[in-house]
Structure 1
Amino acid sequence: MKTPPLPLLSTIALASPLALNLFVPAMPDAAQALGTDISTIQLTFTAYLLTLAIGQLLAGPLADFYGRRPVVISGLLLHSVGSVMALLASDVSWLIAGRVLQAAGGSTAMSLARTIVIDVYGRDGASAKMGYMVMSVAIAQSIAPTLGGFLALWYGWQSSFVIPVLLALLVAGLAWRLLPETCQQRTPELRVGRVLGQYRQLLGSTEYLGYAFSTTWIAAAFYLFVGSAPYLVVQNLGGNSAEFGSWFMAVSLAFMAGSFLSTRLASRFSIDQVVLIGNSLSLLGGLVLFLAVSINWLSLAALFLPMAVVTFGRGLSQPNAQSAAIACATGNAGTASGLMGCIQLVCGSALAQLTPVLMAHGLAYLMLCLALAPALAMVSHGIAIRQRHHANRTDAASQRQTTATASNSR
């Protein structure tokens, strides 16, 4: 099998997170320009996440049947169409529709970039490679809010959609030339019953769900933060979109550092050990952030620096938890990756839309939920470890019994 260039896979993976986060600092400006309220403009973020979830649920089976390459390229082209629609939107309805198309195309890139890594490198080899991909996403997240904040300040909120158009078209062209087909065992038919059967099988795997929810809860902490921080900076701390983008870089650079370190730790520690270290650090950062708000010590530094610790831990844990989850589904890696992305983003979109409600009840409630998310990630990871050890003991016992039976028969 021809190995696809890792930089290309990383660029494919970052296209959708870049588009998502470029617009975040411009949301208050867009709400004012389009004459709408925070809850309505929040739908541009929530609808994006929800469409990413549904899109990944569909992209997996399609890629297992048609192959990874055509689905990735088609998705990138659809992403560019949605970006153009959002760029030209004259009211909030068209803006939301453009964001939905953006996410529908971007979902294939996010899901299948992970799947291709598993295709090529397997469960153990993929954890280090996945770290580089997560690091590329972290780079996008560090650049996007800063760049988006200054673009909104200088050229208006619509300018946030120019880069996604150009990037999606460029990456689609590179994928056409450089991306080989990596699916070696395609599903023989694409039927709803068969696809639902694959999902039922995954949903019945405690180990898969444990790893999938571990990465989901850690991501939930990030979604709670990114859905509230732009308004906190502008309304509570008297800042603007550019200041949000500049401070947010600390959060994303920490994510990038954690992702890079996870690639170094992959050769020295087990997948589960790195996930545990990462989740523990995220919990520590969440508790510090909750404490800062509880004692009314809210400032730009008190808001962003503890969150940087949360995302540093996420950078350590997420690549390893994702590769472990996808590897649970032998022969259906695309489906497993899509379902995991769906679970993560459904939870993220629900929390993003819930964020204004939590903020209305008080920042302490919001930060308490943020701190609870890493704790739930640790519980989910513990369930996955226990199930994996149980399965290994069962397999070992079965193998011993088979060996004993064969010896007796001789």
Structure 2
Amino acid sequence: MNHHNAAEARPAVKPGLIALLIAVSAVSPLGINMYLPSMPGMARALGVDFTTIQLTLSLYLGAMALGQLIIGPLSDRFGRRPVLLIGLLTFLTGSALCLTAQSIGVLIFGRIVQALGGCAGVTLSRAIVRDLYGRNQVASMIAYVTMGMAVAPMIAPTIGGLLETFFGWRASFAFLIGFGGLALVFAYWRLSETNHNRASGEAARELLQGYGSLFRSRQFWGYTLVTGFVSAMFFSFLAGAPYVMIELFGRSPAEYGLYFAMVPCGYMLGNFATGRIAATMGPNRMILAGTLLSLTSIAAMAALIAAGFLVPVALFGPMLFIGVANGLVLPSGIAGAVSVRPDLAGAASGLSGSFQIGFGAVAAPIVGAALSSTVWPLIVIMTICSLLAIVSFTLVAGQHRPAPRG
């Protein structure tokens, strides 16, 4: 009994550490969102079509998916702190390549390097929370971290649109270098190692065994697929909304950035609700509420477009509630995935995060190829993702998580 209580007792996290986790988690969302208003202008400047320039988004997401598979297990073996610092340094290198790129090939390569480094903050912030908190608190704490992190995508398109208007598309990458540099200094100064149960030297065999254990877990797959399809719905919108707003609706990049702020506002609200009530409601009910809200919101978007309301609020009004839904689903889904095997929190965070981003990497180019003169392909793809999230929820619905090992 005393051993159990000791296992559940976790040290309190100082506000400075929470601020650090928010900052390093925000690096990659900034890399995704800041340059979005510049995508049509970048295509014109580099002499490529919009489908080609969208590779800078879809390949970024694909590299994030791959990077998380590597970074999570590396942090289980070598510790969170050194892996995070190397990741942030890699992000800065990629941002510098993007800033100086003179061709689409160099820009895409820079984006891949950026993503491989930036995903360290997202993956390891979750693993650090799992290191410091008991299983029942993880969803609430992840919600608070991601609520703060949501400020980044809320303001990033607005800043990116203004930078594009006054200084051109390269200015967004200069901003990312500055932010990433501050995050690196902050992490070096404030972050102590939290993984005190690092794996032994037989890393490859233990990694394969750990992944094998996760792959055999129905609950792990349920939580992972739910977060993956909900994220794919969001990244579908992310890939298609700039084209719809700027090319089909004839709005400016700055106006797109202002409207986009509605989405992370909803995400912050959903995360706040999760932080307050997840511990009492439980993750499954939070996920169910969020997935049903997503489907309802997409239906509302379709109804508005079908009624002829081809205006920004017809897109971003429903997306406000989809943002709320994501704030309900993602923290609980992530907490469920990393709590199946707490001794493999880094690997679980990396694997689930890889699928979460990887689904978005698949959805984004499909949206780019499907969009032409109407918004309907975007709505159809988002609807499919929402329905698949609800189906995936059946893998965990009504089940109780087993007691954690380790």
Q: TM-score range by the shorter chain?
A: over 0.9
Q: Does 2:359 correspond to 1:320?
A: no
Query: What's the CA shift for 1:267?
Result: 4.0
Q: Does 2:119 correspond to 1:100?
A: no
Q: Deviations over 1:133-179 (max 9, x none)?
A: 21123211110011111111111000011221111111111111211
Aligned-partner Cα distance in 2 for 1:361–1:207? 41
Query: What's the CA shift for 1:293?
Result: 2.8
Query: What's the CA shift for 1:123?
Result: 1.9
- Give the 3 Å change call, closer, same or farther, for CA 361–157 of structure 1 in structure 2: closer
Aligned to 2:269: 257
The TM-score normalised by the length of structure 2 is 0.92
Aligned to 1:198: 210
Q: Partner amino acid for 1:107?
A: C
Q: Does 2:29 correspond to 1:17?
A: yes
Aligned-partner Cα distance in 2 for 1:22–1:240? 15
Query: What's the CA shift for 1:266?
Result: 2.4
Query: What's the CA shift for 1:2?
Result: 7.9
Unaligned runs of 5+ in 2: 1-10
Query: What's the CA shift for 1:19?
Result: 1.5
Contact 1:21 1:144 in 2 (8 A): yes
Q: Partner amino acid for 2:246?
A: V
Contact 2:231 2:359 in 1 (8 A): no
Aligned-partner Cα distance in 1 for 2:359–2:108? 19
Aligned-partner Cα distance in 1 for 2:328–2:99? 35
1:66-105 alignment, distance < 5 Å:
66-105=78-117
Q: Secondary structure in 2 aligned to 1:262?
A: helix
Q: Deviations over 1:253-300 (max 9, x none)?
A: 111111112111124422222222122211111111122233443211
Aligned-partner Cα distance in 2 for 1:197–1:29? 47
Aligned-partner Cα distance in 2 for 1:222–1:191? 35
Contact 2:77 2:203 in 1 (8 A): no
Q: Secondary structure in 1 aligned to 2:122?
A: helix
Contact 1:207 1:385 in 2 (8 A): no
Contact 2:367 2:381 in 1 (8 A): no
Q: Deviations over 1:60-117 (max 9, x none)?
A: 1100000000000110111011111101111111111111111010111110011000
Aligned to 2:132: 120
Q: Greater shift after overlay, 254-263 or 23-32?
A: 254-263
Q: Does 2:359 correspond to 1:378?
A: no
Q: Greater shift after overlay, 225-234 or 192-201?
A: 192-201
Aligned to 1:37: 49
Aligned-partner Cα distance in 2 for 1:36–1:333? 42
Query: What's the CA shift for 1:361?
Result: 8.4
Q: Partner amino acid for 2:242?
A: P
Aligned to 1:406: none
2:345 to 333, 337, 341: 333
1:176-215 alignment, distance < 5 Å:
176-189=188-201, 191-215=203-227
Aligned to 2:4: none
Aligned-partner Cα distance in 1 for 2:300–2:369? 22
Q: Partner amino acid for 2:76?
A: D
Aligned to 2:143: 131
1:357 to 347, 350, 369: 369
Query: What's the CA shift for 1:193?
Result: 3.9
Contact 2:135 2:339 in 1 (8 A): yes
Aligned-partner Cα distance in 1 for 2:361–2:286? 27
Contact 2:284 2:396 in 1 (8 A): no
Q: Partner amino acid for 1:335?
A: A
Aligned to 1:60: 72
1:194-343 alignment, distance < 5 Å:
194-343=206-355
Aligned-partner Cα distance in 1 for 2:201–2:62? 27
Aligned-partner Cα distance in 1 for 2:132–2:266? 28
Aligned-partner Cα distance in 1 for 2:323–2:189? 34
Aligned-partner Cα distance in 1 for 2:202–2:86? 18
Q: Secondary structure in 2 aligned to 1:322?
A: helix
2:163 to 151, 162, 176: 151
Q: Greater shift after overlay, 353-362 or 197-206?
A: 353-362
Contact 1:61 1:190 in 2 (8 A): no
Aligned-partner Cα distance in 2 for 1:166–1:15? 11
Q: Secondary structure in 2 aligned to 1:184?
A: coil
Between structure 1 and structure 2, the one with the greater Rg is: 1
1:165-176 alignment, distance < 5 Å:
165-176=177-188
Contact 1:65 1:190 in 2 (8 A): no
Q: Partner amino acid for 1:104?
A: L
- Give the 3 Å change call, closer, same or farther, for CA 94–190 of structure 1 in structure 2: farther
Contact 1:284 1:309 in 2 (8 A): no
Contact 1:290 1:371 in 2 (8 A): no
Contact 1:138 1:255 in 2 (8 A): yes
CA RMSD of aligned residues (A): 1.7
Q: Greater shift after overlay, 335-344 or 187-196?
A: 187-196
Q: Secondary structure in 2 aligned to 1:383?
A: coil
Q: Greater shift after overlay, 364-373 or 218-227?
A: 364-373
Percent identity between the two aligned chains:
34
Query: What's the CA shift for 1:3?
Result: 4.0
Contact 2:214 2:348 in 1 (8 A): yes
Aligned to 2:7: none
Contact 2:158 2:261 in 1 (8 A): yes
